[in-house]
A = this chain, B = another copy of it.
Amino acid sequence: MPVLDTPTKNRPRARLEQREADIIDAATRLFASDGFHATSTRRIAAEAGVSEGTVFNYFSTKNALLLAILDEFYARLTETAREGVEKVMDTRERLLFLATNHLRELLDNQALMIRLIQVYLSVDINYYTDYKNTHIHRLNYQYTRIFDGVVREGIERGDLDPALSLPAFRDLFFGGLEYGMRTLLGKNNTANVAAYVQQIVDPLWTGMLAPAGRDVPGSPETEQRLEKACRRLEKAVRKLEQAAERS
């Protein structure tokens, strides 16, 4: 039976909660530095100053411990995102804020979270049957709803193109950020988050602008013809170039 879930009659909860926090803290630290699979429950117990059995009293499995950590993280992430969106009004500023907040929170946690999420996805999920029923999917859903809200409001205001696909745009946004974080980490250039966020959000922003905000390209026939001719020439030249290379 999970310790904190039982009615605990008149027991002082403070100590129990302290223990749970100690275990989570220890696990978070170790997962971050060594990774999930390289961290044993024995070491977590030692680091938290308890025995191994106690760890399993508070968390039924090592996976449940991981989920508890992700829970805390998503709570913080969702909270900061919601606050920021409420403060900022401009659609573009909101998107920039969400992106920056996302990366900042991930990097502040030493890239721990993205690794844990990946581990969890790879360990526990069979996309074909039960992804939608997983706890992590629910956390993710709550979080991305904030983003969805910003986009919907942007469309209502006329800032964004009503024709764009929200799921596709969401995938671009968060997928781009996740890969962007890896790029930043690879370059050891985590200081320059704002600049990279701008580089990621800018093209997306242009691409999802309402048509009114864009220049209308209804070109005259001559231009179209030239364009077409150029493409045909381009194709021919490429073929010739390749043939030349081979010989």
Q: Is A132 an interface residue (CB 8 A)?
A: yes
Q: Is A15 an interface residue (CB 8 A)?
A: no
| Partner pick for A203 among B35, B168, B174, B218, CB 8 A cutoff | B168
Number of chain copies forming the complex: 2
Proximity string of chain A (202-240) to chain B, C-beta cutoff 8 Å, 1 when within and 0 when not? 111111110001111111101100110111011111101
How many chain A residues touch the partner (CB < 8 A)? 77
Q: Is A72 an interface residue (CB 8 A)?
A: no
Interface residues of A in 111-145 (CB under 8 A from B): 111, 115, 118-119, 121-123, 126-128, 131-132
User: Could you say which residues of chain B place their CB within 8 Å of the CB of A203?
Assistant: 164, 168-169, 172, 204, 207-208
CA distance A222 to B104 in the complex (A): 38
CA distance A126 to B35 in the complex (A): 8
A244 (CB) vs chain B CBs: closest residue: B243
Report whether A215 and B216 are in contact in the complex, using a CB–CB cutoff of 8 Å.
Answer: yes
Interface residues of A in 171-224 (CB under 8 A from B): 171-172, 174-180, 182-183, 185-186, 188, 196, 199-200, 202-209, 213-220, 222-223
